[in-house]
Structures are given as structure tokens and as C-alpha cells.
């Protein structure tokens, strides 16, 4: 039996617009050819599509199509089959799709993407929800709790899209659609033959039919839509290796249940933990500590004391030539309803935004189920630390994997 995500065999990427907000680059280049680390933005999208297991890609082009076609050819260099549908540059998204449908280029169901957003989405979850809800369109929505952009959605707890407001003026909106949509081709019956925008015509009708759902992510998306976004997108695509570490029981001896590390001298290193951190640093990793510290909410230690404990920790690490790069902790109690306390993934998303990380490329190491839940929900690769499988062994496994994946 096929996995759900294997039922989707085609990705359709809209890449035909003028990209006027990216002038003067777009005077002579189509927007998705803007380079990061010497590779066009669109190449990252194509590699991502391939990583989802999709090998057929249809690029809907309009403006300067030959620049894209010359670079990507038939796609074989990337292990995919690329087809092109070229229409006049002034065509709106709806007409571009409609033409592709008329010419028989669209699969019954396909992954629909914009050429100017990149987000490390959970593709399996997107597919699972599309089929579970019997949606006609299941798109990805950025939660936008950080006000990164303007909201245009109201989404029910179930994922049902209750309001799609392209003008972004309705009250109580939260979230914005970023593409990465599974689309049932049937929805193109809702499109007239006129030169119209796809979302503007189709989405409100699907909202009314209760056939449009959102898969919500807190992972920030990165864009070539405008110059303001380019610097962050550069930071995002800059190569980096990042590992998240839990503290107690992973790096240092875990205090007994309901007790806390309350003084610097309570912080006792586990065997070879400092060596493990040094090896990570020597191999170019940034290390991010992710720790629940409910002792603060319970009045057992202050944030000042915690800072002293961490200063001692850093001092001990400096002795072996290592350090922790960033420290995130949750000071709340379990019943405060915060978004940061593990097993919730809030601290990961905070670090993601502040450090421009791709969480699907990060590791989380911890000694508690909550570490695994939180890291897993955030999309990280996770590894359990136990007495039998201490930090140093986990680190050696990861460094070996790096060698293999090179």
C-alpha cells in the first residue's frame, strides 16, 4: 500500500511573475533565480520537492522563461523531470493554472507552490491532513505569532479555513497562507477563463463550501518576494550545523525528582560531557541549550542565580576549550499554559527565528521524553541520552553521520 504522501506525484510551481518588488535584479532576471550561496532560490525549492519524494515538476513560467529553462533543463541534474508551461508574463496565477489544465498538464492532485517562499514544512503531515479532511485544497499556513507579516486567515481548531481575506482587513485574523498546498484539480472548474488571480477567485468559494483547510506551522518561511526579506533569507541559507542540548541529565547529573540545581556548586558534569561538547564545537557546531527551569516559578531559584549557574557551566567548558553558544530556558510552571515549556516546542521556534535555523536540519539531544516530543514536534532529529548511551556516544554517532552525509 502506498503511503499517503506517495499518492501525490506532481509539484506545480508558479514562477511567472515580473517580481517588481525585487527590481533592479528582476529587470534582467526572473525573481526565483535570485542566488543564495551561488544557487538560485528556485533550486532549493526543487531539491525540497525531490526530498518529498516527488519527481515530476511543472514550472509555470511567464517572465523571462528562458533564463529558468536554460538553467534547469529537463531536471535530470537534480534527479527530477521538469516540464514547462509558458504563458504571457502578464497572465495572473489563475489563468496560468487554467491553461495548464486545458493542456492536460496537471495531475488529479498536485503539490502547488509559489516560487518565492521556502519553508521546511512537514510534508507528510500536510498530505495526511489533506486526505483526513477530504479537503479540496490543504495549504500550509504560517502561524505568525511573531507578527512577521500580516495575517490573512482565520483558522478553526480543526484546521478548517473560516476566513480567507486577501485584503487582510477582517477582525481576528491569525496566520497567513504560504503556498505548499495540496490541490485537487477539480477546483479549477471554479476558475473562469479570464485573467484572474487564483486565490482571489477560488479560495473564498472553497471557504464557503468548507473544503479548504490549513496545516499550520510555526516555522518561519523565507522569501525572495521583496528586498526587506533578502537578508534573513541569506542568513537562513548560510550553511550551519546546530545542535540543541537539554541540560539536566544530558550534560550534568540530574537532581532528584522535584529538586533543582539551585546553586552553581550543584552543577556536576556527567562523565565526558564536556569532551562531547568540545568535539561538537571542534566540528563546527553551534550549541543551543534548551532547558525547563520551573524552579524559578516555584520560587526555588531566581533568574540571577540561574545566570550564575550558567556562568559556572561556561567557565568549566572554557577550561576544555568549549562553550555553549545560546541558552534558552522556560521559567514557567507546568500549569501556566506557556508555549515554551517542553514538551511544547516553543523554545525551538524562538531559536529558529532568532538564529535563522532550518529546524529539520538540527539535532535535539535529551534524557527525557519531553525533550523528544518537543524536538520532534519542531521537526528536529532527536536522540535519547541515557546512562548507557551518554552524550559522548550520541555525539560520535552524529559526527559519523555527518561524514556519511557529506
Which residues contribute to the site for Mg ion (CB under 5 A)? Answer: 246, 248-249, 367-368
Half-sphere exposure of residue 404: CA atoms within 13 angstroms, side-chain side = 6
Active site residue 266: no
**Cβ within 8 Å of residue 179, ≥6 positions away:** 112, 113, 114, 117, 139, 140
Residue for cell digits 480543526? 158
> Between 79 and 271, whose beta carbon lies closer to Mg ion?
271
* Min CB(368)–Mg ion separation in Å: 5
> Between 230 and 280, whose beta carbon lies closer to Mg ion?
280
> How far is the C-alpha of 100 from the C-alpha of 382, rounded, in Å?
42
Say if CB 97 and CB 188 are below 8 A apart. yes
Q: Which sign does the torsion angle of CA 255, 259, 260, 262 carry?
A: negative
* Min CB(371)–Mg ion separation in Å: 6
* Min CB(322)–Mg ion separation in Å: 19
Residue for cell digits 542540548? 245
Residue in 122, 248, 316, 377 annotated catalytic: 248
Half-sphere exposure of residue 241: CA atoms within 13 angstroms, side-chain side = 14
Give the CA distances from residue 125 to residues 4, 182, 213, 221, 295, in Å, rounded to whole numbers and listed in that order. 10, 11, 12, 17, 35
Ranked by CB distance to Mg ion, the top (closest) residue is 249
> Between 28 and 257, whose beta carbon lies closer to Mg ion?
257
* Min CB(261)–Mg ion separation in Å: 11
> Between 154 and 247, whose beta carbon lies closer to Mg ion?
247
**Cβ within 8 Å of residue 105, ≥6 positions away:** 58, 83, 85
Q: Which one, of 219, 217, 231, 180, lies nearest residue 359 by Cα?
A: 219
* Min CB(253)–Mg ion separation in Å: 11
Residue in 116, 246, 368, 371 annotated catalytic: 246
* Min CB(366)–Mg ion separation in Å: 6
* Min CB(367)–Mg ion separation in Å: 5
Active site residue 248: yes
> Between 192 and 271, whose beta carbon lies closer to Mg ion?
271
Half-sphere exposure of residue 16: CA atoms within 13 angstroms, side-chain side = 24
> Between 185 and 300, whose beta carbon lies closer to Mg ion?
300
> Between 82 and 251, whose beta carbon lies closer to Mg ion?
251
Active site residues: 246, 248
Amino acid at each position: 500500500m502506498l503511503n499517503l504522501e506517495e499518492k501525490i506525484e506532481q509539484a506545480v510551481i508558479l514562477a511567472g511573475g515580473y517580481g517588481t518588488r525585487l527590481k533592479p535584479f528582476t529587470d534582467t532576471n526572473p525573481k526565483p533565480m535570485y542566488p543564495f550561496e551561488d544557487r538560485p532560490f528556485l533550486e532549493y525549492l526543487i531539491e525540497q520537492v525531490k526530498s518529498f519524494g516527488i519527481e515530476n515538476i511543472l514550472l509555470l513560467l511567464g517572465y523571462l522563461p528562458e533564463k529558468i529553462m536554460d538553467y534547469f533543463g529537463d531536471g535530470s541534474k537534480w534527479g527530477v523531470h521538469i516540464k514547462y508551461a509558458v504563458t504571457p508574463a502578464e497572465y495572473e496565477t489563475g489563468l496560468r493554472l487554467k491553461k495548464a489544465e486545458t493542456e492536460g498538464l496537471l495531475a488529479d492532485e498536485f503539490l502547488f507552490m509559489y516560487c518565492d517562499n521556502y519553508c521546511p514544512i512537514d510534508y507528510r503531515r500536510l498530505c495526511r491532513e489533506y486526505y483526513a479532511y477530504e479537503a479540496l485544497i490543504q495549504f500550509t499556513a504560517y502561524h505568525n505569532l511573531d507578527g512577521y507579516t500580516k495575517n490573512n486567515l482565520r483558522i478553526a481548531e480543526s484546521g478548517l479555513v473560516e476566513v480567507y481575506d486577501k485584503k487582510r482587513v477582517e477582525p481576528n485574523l491569525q496566520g497567513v497562507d504560504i503556498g505548499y498546498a495540496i490541490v485537487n484539480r477539480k477546483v479549477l472548474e471554479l476558475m473562469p477563463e479570464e485573467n484572474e488571480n487564483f486565490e482571489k477567485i477560488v479560495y473564498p468559494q472553497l471557504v464557503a463550501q468548507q473544503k479548504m483547510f490549513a496545516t499550520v506551522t510555526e516555522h518561519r518561511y523565507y522569501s525572495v518576494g521583496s528586498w526587506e526579506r533578502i537578508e534573513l533569507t541569506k542568513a537562513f541559507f548560510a550553511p550551519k550545523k546546530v545542535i540543541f542540548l537539554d541540560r539536566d541529565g544530558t550534560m550534568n547529573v540530574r537532581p532528584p525528582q522535584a529538586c533543582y540545581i539551585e546553586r552553581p556548586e550543584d552543577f556536576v558534569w556527567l562523565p565526558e560531557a564536556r569532551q562531547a561538547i568540545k568535539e561538537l564545537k571542534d566540528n563546527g557546531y553551534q550549541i543551543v541549550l534548551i532547558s525547563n527551569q520551573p524552579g524559578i516559578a516555584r520560587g526555588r531559584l531566581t533568574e540571577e542565580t540561574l545566570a550564575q549557574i550558567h556562568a559556572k557551566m561556561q567557565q568549566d567548558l572554557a577550561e576544555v576549550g568549549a562553550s555553549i553558544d545560546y541558552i534558552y530556558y522556560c521559567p514557567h510552571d507546568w500549569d501556566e499554559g506557556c508555549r515554551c515549556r517542553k514538551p511544547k516546542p516553543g523554545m525551538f521556534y524562538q531559536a529558529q527565528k532568532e538564529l535563522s535555523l532550518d529546524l529539520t536540519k538540527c539535532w535535539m539531544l535529551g534524557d527525557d521524553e519531553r525533550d523528544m516530543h518537543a524536538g520532534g514536534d519542531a521537526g528536529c532529529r532527536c536522540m535519547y541520552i541515557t546512562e548507557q548511551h551518554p552524550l559522548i556516544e550520541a555525539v560520535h554517532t552524529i559526527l559519523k553521520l555527518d561524514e556519511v552525509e557529506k
